[in-house]
Structure 1
C-alpha cells in the first residue's frame, strides 16, 4: 500500500508551484498538512482535506466560505488516488476562478509522483528480500523453492561467482549495491549481485566462462573503483550458490599468495590451492606451518620460498625454474637441497613436494612472484 511521507509530499509542492504560480498544500487523508508552499502551515489541521477524503470529491472554497473550515483558505482541494485508494489530498490556494484551471494538472502530478514513489518502495523491498535470501543461501541456510520462485531466482541454472574486494581498506567503496543490481537486471535478468557483511561484492552469472564473468562484473563497477580492486572467479555449480561463492573466495585468497594487486584470478589456475583453502583447515594448517617454520625463520627465507614456488609452478622442472629465476640450474638445485635440509621434506620427492605445497598455501605470508600483468 502507498503511504505518504513528508519528503514525497514536498516533491509534489516543489514540482507544481513553479508551473502554476500558486501556493500548493499536500495533506494526509486525516487532514494534516505535511507539505506546503507556506512553511508556517505545515503540521496544521486542514478540515476541508478531511471532507475531501471522506467524500472522495473535490471541495472548492471561496473567500466567504473559508471561515467555515478550520485551517483552510480559499482555493480548491482534490483527492489524490493511487491504486484505487485515496492516499492524499492536494490543495491550491487562491481564488477558485483562478486556480481551478490548474486543479487537474496538480492532481495528476501528485498521483504520478506518488506512483513513482510506490514503485521505488516496492523495488527497494524486493531488493532487500533478495539480499537477505542470498545471504541465507551463502550461509548454507535452507530457503524454500516457493520463496525462490516468488523472487524469480532459478538456482537450477549453472552459475559462476565473481568475488571483488578493495585492495586497501581506506579506499572509497560502494555503500549500496541496489543501483548496481538494477542496472545488471536490465541486461542480464538471471544475474545476481550482493554485498557481503565484510564488504565484498559478489556477482553470480549464468552460463558464462570465467573470463567473460570477470569482465561482466568489472565493467559494472565505477571507473574510479575498477583499478583499485582485486577479483576472482570460482567453479560453476547448479543449486549451490554457497559453493560458487566459497570457490571464488578461496581462489582470490590463493591468488594473493602469488600475485601483486590488482589481482585478476580464476579457480582453474590453481584448483588444488583453491580446494585446500576452501576446506578452511584448522589444526592441519597449524601442523603444516610448524613444519615450514625453520624455512620461514631462515635469513634467506624469501629466496627459498620464491625458489620453491617457482619450482612448483614449473612442474618440478629444474631447467624451467632456473630460466624463470635467471639462475643456473645448479643454483636452483642447491637452493632446493637447502630447503630439504631445513625442513626435512625433499622437493625432489612427489609426496614431499605435495606436503611443501600445502604448507606454502597454509602460510599467511604472501610471496610476490609475479605482477598481475603476468597472470593468465
Structure 2
C-alpha cells in the first residue's frame, strides 16, 4: 500500500515548481497540506482537496470562487492515483487559464514519484526480511520452507560463503548494505548478502569456485574499501548456510594469523587450521601449545621448526625433505629424532606427526612471534 509522507510530498513540489514556474501544494486525501511552495501553508486545511479526493475529479477554482473553500487559492487541484486508489491531491496555484495546461504534467510527475517511493519501500522491507531470515539461519534457528520460498531462497543448492572484513573492523564501513546487495543481485540473482552484527559482510554464491566467489564479492565494494579489505572463502554446503559462514569466518581468522591486512585466503589452503579454529578449542589448544614449547625454547629452534615444516610438506618423505633443505637424509633424520626427544612426539609415527602438524597450524601466531623475536 502506498502512503504519502512529507519528504516524498516535498520531492513532488521541488521537482514540479522549477518546470512550471507556479507554486505547487501536495495534500493528503483528508485535505491537509503537507508540502508546499509556500511553507506557511504547510499544515493548513485545503477544503477543495477533500472534494477532489471524494469525487476523484479535478477541481478548478477561480479568484472569485476561492473564498468558497477554506484554505484555498485560485488554481487547479487534481487527484493523484496509485494502485487504483487516491493517495494524494496536487494543487497548482495561479490563474486557471495559465496553470490548467500543467495539471496533467504535475499529476503524472507526482504519481511516478509516489510509485518509485512505493517500490523503494517494498524493496527495503524485502531486504529487511531477507536480512532477518539470514541472521536466523546463521544462528542455526529454524526457518519454515514456506517463508524461504516466499523470499526466493533455495537452500538446497550448494553455496560458498565469502566473508569480507574492513581494515578497521570496529568502524562501520558499509553504510548501505542494501545498495551493495542490490548491485550484486543484479549480476548474481541467487546471491545472498548480509552484514553481521560485528560489521563483516557475508556473500553467499551458487556454483562458483572459491577464487571466482571472492573476486565477485570484492568487485562490489567501493574501490577505496576493496583494496584494504580482508576476505576469505569457506567450504561449500547445501542446506546449511551456518556451516558456509562459519567455515569462511574460521578461514579468515586463520589467514589473519599469517598475513598482515589485507588477508585473502580460501578454506582449501588452510583446512587443518580452519577446522581446528572452528571447534573453538579450550584445554585442547593448551596441549598443542605445550608440545611446541621445547622446540621454541631450544637454541636450534629455527632448524627444528623449519625441518618439521618441510618434512610435513614433503608428505613425510625424508628424501624429498632432504632435497628441499639441501641436507643429507641422515641429517634430516637426526633433526627429526631431536624433535622427538624434545617433544615426546615422533615425526616417524603418522598419529604423532598429525599432532605436531596441528600444533604448528594452531600456534602459527606464537611461532611467528618467536621468529620475529629471534
TM-score tier by shorter-chain length is 0.7 to 0.9
3-state SS of paired residue (1:60): strand
State whether structure 2 residue 248 is matched by structure 1 residue 252. Answer: no
3-state SS of paired residue (2:103): helix
Q: Is contact 1:277–1:361 with CA below 8 Å preserved after alignment?
A: no
1:56-75 superposed matches below 5 A: 56-75=56-75
The 3 A distance-change label for structure 1 pair 138 and 297 is farther
- Aligned residue pairs total 369
The 3 A distance-change label for structure 1 pair 190 and 169 is closer
Q: 1:372 maps to which residue? A: none
Q: Is contact 1:137–1:241 with CA below 8 Å preserved after alignment?
A: yes
Q: 1:374 maps to which residue? A: none
The 3 A distance-change label for structure 1 pair 57 and 362 is same
The 3 A distance-change label for structure 1 pair 151 and 208 is same
The 3 A distance-change label for structure 1 pair 298 and 174 is farther
Q: Structure 1: 5+ residue runs without aligned partners? A: 370-376
Q: 2:228 maps to which residue? A: 228
Measured in 2, the distance between the counterparts of 1:326 and 1:195 equals 49
The 3 A distance-change label for structure 1 pair 71 and 308 is farther
3-state SS of paired residue (1:237): coil
Q: 2:153 maps to which residue? A: 153
The 3 A distance-change label for structure 1 pair 325 and 263 is farther
Q: Is contact 2:25–2:36 with CA below 8 Å preserved after alignment?
A: yes
C-alpha offsets along residues 243-288 of structure 1, whole Å, 9 cap, x if unaligned?
A: 1112222222222333443222222223233222222223322333
Q: Is contact 2:258–2:365 with CA below 8 Å preserved after alignment?
A: no
Measured in 2, the distance between the counterparts of 1:91 and 1:51 equals 12
Measured in 1, the distance between the counterparts of 2:37 and 2:305 equals 72
Measured in 2, the distance between the counterparts of 1:10 and 1:173 equals 31
Measured in 2, the distance between the counterparts of 1:171 and 1:26 equals 41
How far 1:127 sits from its partner (Å)? 0.8
Comparing 294-303 and 58-67, the one that deviates more = 294-303
How far 1:167 sits from its partner (Å)? 3.4
C-alpha offsets along residues 326-356 of structure 1, whole Å, 9 cap, x if unaligned?
A: 8898887776566545533344433222222
The 3 A distance-change label for structure 1 pair 172 and 130 is closer
The 3 A distance-change label for structure 1 pair 44 and 353 is same
The 3 A distance-change label for structure 1 pair 73 and 358 is same
Q: 1:352 maps to which residue? A: 352
Q: 2:175 maps to which residue? A: 175
Measured in 1, the distance between the counterparts of 2:26 and 2:307 equals 74
Comparing 7-16 and 217-226, the one that deviates more = 217-226
Q: Structure 2: 5+ residue runs without aligned partners? A: 370-374
3-state SS of paired residue (1:89): strand
Q: 1:280 maps to which residue? A: 280
Q: 2:144 maps to which residue? A: 144
Q: 1:110 maps to which residue? A: 110
Q: 1:11 maps to which residue? A: 11
Q: 2:26 maps to which residue? A: 26
3-state SS of paired residue (1:261): coil
State whether structure 2 residue 53 is matched by structure 1 residue 53. Answer: yes
Q: 2:372 maps to which residue? A: none
Q: What TM-score results when the alignment is normalised by the length of structure 1?
A: 0.88
Q: Is contact 1:162–1:231 with CA below 8 Å preserved after alignment?
A: yes
Measured in 2, the distance between the counterparts of 1:302 and 1:246 equals 34
Q: What TM-score results when the alignment is normalised by the length of structure 2?
A: 0.88
The 3 A distance-change label for structure 1 pair 207 and 144 is same
Q: 1:194 maps to which residue? A: 194
Q: 1:270 maps to which residue? A: 270
Q: Is contact 1:258–1:366 with CA below 8 Å preserved after alignment?
A: no
